[in-house]
Chains A and B, each alone.
Chain A
Amino acid sequence: MLDILEQVGINNYIYLSTLLFCVGVLGILYRRSTIVMLMSVELMLAAANLLLAVFSVYHQDVSGQVFVIFAMAVAAAEVAVGLAILVSIYRNIGSIDIDKLKNLKG
């Protein structure tokens, strides 16, 4: 299946990941539930990963895939810490509504 890019075209992959990325952005801007926002971040990450892998194939260079692995490691860490923070926020103010987190007000 090495010639997949010849058949599908790298353009389509780019469109796909861009759209997926934008779906993630939409989730972040549209939702108030922090946990869903976190999921959206994961979507964005996945979109980026996908594109990395595609370009890795395109350039026939394994580095891109290695970076996907690293990105996954980072994503895992991020989710773990992010969820921990969410838990602690929930415990403190009883909600994870993003619009209620206004302590940053200057």
Chain B
Amino acid sequence: MNIAIILIILLVGAILTYLSGNRWAPKVAMLFAIITAIFSIALLLEYHNTGTSFSVQWINNPSVMFSLKADGLSLIMVLLTSVLLPIILLTAVSHTVPYEKLLYSLILFMAFAMTGVFLSSDALLYYVFWELSLIPIYFIVVLWGNGSMSKRRRSALTFFIYTFAGSLFMLGAIIYLYTKTGSFQLYDLYNANLSDTEQLWIFLAFFFAYAIKIPIFPFHTWQANVYQKAPLVGTLLLGALMSKMALYSALRWQLPIAPHAAHSMQTVVLTLSIIGVIYGSIVALKQDNLKRFFAYASLAHVGFIAAGIYALTLDGLQGAVLLMVAHGFGIVGLFFGSEVIYRRFNTPLISQMGGIKGQAPKFTIAFFLMIMASITIPLSFNFVGELTIMYGLYQVSIWYTILIGTSMFLGAFFMLHMYQLVMLGEVRKKPFADLTVNEGIVFILLTAVLLFFGLYSKPIVDLASPSLQEILMYVNR
């Protein structure tokens, strides 16, 4: 099967959703999301270790190919996107908003762009998709966000310009690589034979783009504001998928292209990632806005993933891939939990919540499971990922493991602190309805995924392992 078909489905889906009008838009979007999921699973079934690719000439001079390649790693990311997409849509369908057709169409379009990033193996094509994904999220935040229009426009614009500025460094690097190699093709760039200085600059250029988008401390300041201002779907797209896009890119582009720089800069980037983990955990303690709280929690988690990637060991990379998927699902659960509370209490402030456990037992279980997954209780998927990353870091130095391991209790500290304030305590007078069917389905799906892979992560490991070994081969050459 041609891998371009997933992109086509998503693009057609986005257009048809827009054309179908406000009433039908959620259903059409959901239909296309499910079709995408089915096709990507079909792609997975067809997959045999070598990977499938698709390539046509796009622009002659400079030579840009519309070339897509799905190896195990990209396939995992595509699957993550296409499986999360229906879930993300499901979180939104029960909640009507103005201009639904535009919203759903933008969501599909964003999925289209991100899938493009995961699949493309031509640097310029990759860059185009990378920037394309920025457009829908900007509008989603501005048009459907929380808070006053001027404030959220400001946050969204900050985010847009900030990430865009970072990406420009990456574009510069890509163009420089083109002048060196005369090609935008992934493998030509891998074999570019760069001097150490060139590698350093290219590594840094890529790092700016990714560090802002992941985000890694101290490039994270846009995150909390945007997560807070964005509507739920926006937060989910940002937190669950867009940060993964940058993490995936670091694996796919940054490390193999500039391997020596990756080794020489390892201490710096690892330190930044780990600072992000600890910093995020500590800052989260003081947040009163639940979404801001989760934003900082997410900062800690993505820092963890980044640390796994920059460990440059097979275990680190593998753990990073596992945790990327796990975090993708986990963060959806957490933010959805916050949204469920918000819809009932009409406040995002933790200080005005409490005692939900007494009113909504089902929701309590669901939310608690999500929190447990995010503080990496064994048998949750996150645990497998963090464990593997920590072991990968151990091979670099025991101190990294210990430092990043502080998140085990710091993470538990802030999460349980929040859980206690939000869910426990005396029951409030305000009624809190338990989960509806739709909401229940979301949580059940998420729990099922997190638990299944927490018990049996072999499929993902087997799928990712050949690609990661190949990347590592380039990194360690």
Touching chains A and B, CB distance < 8 Å: no
